[in-house]
Amino acid sequence: MLPSNIAVGTASLTVTANGATSAPQAFQVVASSFGTFALNSGGSGPGVITNASVVPFGLTKAANPDEAAIIWGTGLAPVSGNEAGGALPGDLSSIPVEVYVGSSKATVTYRGRSGCCAGLDQIVFTVPNVLGCRVPVTIKINNVVSNSTTLPVAAKGSRTCSDEGGPSEADLAKYIQNGSSIGVVSLSRVATSITVPSFGSITTNADVGAATFTRFTAAQLDASSNPFNTSQIGACTVSYFKGSAPAAGQDPLAPKTLDAGSAITINGTAGSKQLTKSTLGGPIVYSGLLSTIGATGSVDYLNPGTFTATGPGGSEVGGFTSSIAIPAAINWTNQAALTDITRSAGQMISWTGGDPAGSILITGSSASGTAADSVGAAFNCTVKTSDNQFTIPAQVLLSLPVSASVQGIPTGVLSVGQVGAPKTFSASGLDAGYLVYTNLVAKTLNYK
């Protein structure tokens, strides 16, 4: 536990064991950098956020608007006194703690140490009227933001949450008792523009497909990041990574993957493609590159039209067929104007067009470099198509590090596009099946 009287700035640490002392290691100390505990012990997904009786909220034990809730974590601020002698509770009202639940700023009634334990912080706030099973929660102190966790919030009169496009309250109550098997087939296009110094802009399309079939235990459903792949409209979630690029599926609570056959077949206007099965000695994943690159250039696959996914059935999931229509891409109207983003100011995004039944997905990422020990963060915001504009909040952008540059190309990326309303399908061995598509336009830029 770091002593409260240590000075802000560069500090030095040594470890002494059995009479031997290590070489000193330097590290940085800041006044406040709150970290919210998570149910998966990995800092992501549902947070350790409890009711007044210190019972964590869950999918069928959701918070209600206007209810008091407690965020548990560490790193809030120094206190007066020696914590080695025990807990030092007290409201640190001078610390400018801001709690964001979805896109709403909550009212904070206490921010300070817990009375039970030294170094353990709690923030008490009033739950705003923002409903959903995975509502993002972020704490901001000055311009330093916490990790992003989530909170289930249900309408008053119920303790079971629900999401648009997700399972009903009745189904969710059943799943939380018995666990659930979920299948997702996704079709994605990303058109990326990269500006290369002394050369100009290069744009490439990548059409890909992927499918996962997973079995969650009841406990995993409550603690996993997003088992039903639903998003809260008007809110943003943030994830973190090490290395040069974001990696999907880093939730430490990995569900069991299921066998749905040798391959998933995709049929569209440009013919038939397959998502082949791979285990790589671990989880079963189906994936495939749908566009092709040859001597005459690239050949796109996910052009506007109807696409059908067919599964032959395997040892754990039966056969299925489902179709989805992919419309023309939206028009990202302020794309050309964005070259640098000031994180502390937020950023407005505007668009026209799109399928009203779907939603707009705004994503971004930034990394401190490309080395294995570099750090980065990525965000996803989901917005109504009809809104035609959305401002990415400062507390979301401040989660990203300042973008590094590699040979003049920034490590920051911003993308905007359409997410179609999911099409459901049924198969033996599954409680829920979804066919979805995304169509994104991405560009490299600097987050400052």
Claim to verify: residue 95 and residue 173 sit in the same structural domain: no
Q: For position 197, what pLDDT does the model report?
A: 66
Per-residue pLDDT band for 246 (boundaries 50, 70, 90) equals low
Claim to verify: residue 118 and residue 186 sit in the same structural domain: no
Q: Which of 153, 177, 193 is the last residue of a domain?
A: 153
Contact criterion met (CB below 8 Å) for 249 and 44: no
| Tens-digit pLDDT profile for residues 187-215 | 999 888 776 666 666 777 789 999 999 99
Q: Which of 153, 182, 203 is the last residue of a domain?
A: 153
Strands 423-425 and 68-74: unpaired
Claim to verify: residue 131 and residue 173 sit in the same structural domain: no
Q: For position 297, what pLDDT does the model report?
A: 52
Domain extent for 15: 9-153
Q: Which of 102, 119, 153 is the last residue of a domain?
A: 153
Element (DSSP H or E) covering residue 173 = helix 169-178
Per-residue pLDDT band for 373 (boundaries 50, 70, 90) equals confident
Q: For position 69, what pLDDT does the model report?
A: 98
Claim to verify: residue 209 and residue 262 sit in the same structural domain: yes
Q: For position 84, what pLDDT does the model report?
A: 86
Claim to verify: residue 94 and residue 37 sit in the same structural domain: yes
Alpha-carbon distances, residue 46 vs 49, 97, 248 (angstroms):
8, 20, 17
Picking from 117, 99, 109, the residue whose alpha carbon sits closest to that of residue 36 is 99
Mean pLDDT for the chain overall: 91
Domain-embedded: residue 159: no
Of 145-154, 163-172, 379-388, 437-446, minimum mean pLDDT range: 163-172
Whether the predicted pLDDT of 145 surpasses 80 = yes
Provide the CA 210 distance to its chain's centre, in angstroms: 18
Claim to verify: residue 65 and residue 186 sit in the same structural domain: no
Q: For position 384, what pLDDT does the model report?
A: 94
Per-residue pLDDT band for 244 (boundaries 50, 70, 90) equals low
The distance in angstroms from the start CA to the end CA of the chain is 32
As a whole number, mean pLDDT of residues 106-115 equals 97
Domain-embedded: residue 234: yes
Cβ neighbours, 10 Å, residue 89: 15
Q: For position 248, what pLDDT does the model report?
A: 43
* CA pair distance 411, 406, nearest whole angstrom: 7
Q: Which residue has the higher pLDDT, 174 or 89?
A: 89
Claim to verify: residue 79 and residue 217 sit in the same structural domain: no
Domain-embedded: residue 4: no
| Tens-digit pLDDT profile for residues 412-430 | 999 999 999 899 999 999 9
As a whole number, mean pLDDT of residues 242-258 equals 72
Claim to verify: residue 298 and residue 367 sit in the same structural domain: yes
Number of domains in the chain: 2
Helix (H, G, I), strand (E, B) or coil at 268: strand
Q: For position 283, what pLDDT does the model report?
A: 87
Claim to verify: residue 247 and residue 351 sit in the same structural domain: yes
**Where residue 47 sits, what CATH number does that domain have?**
2.60.40
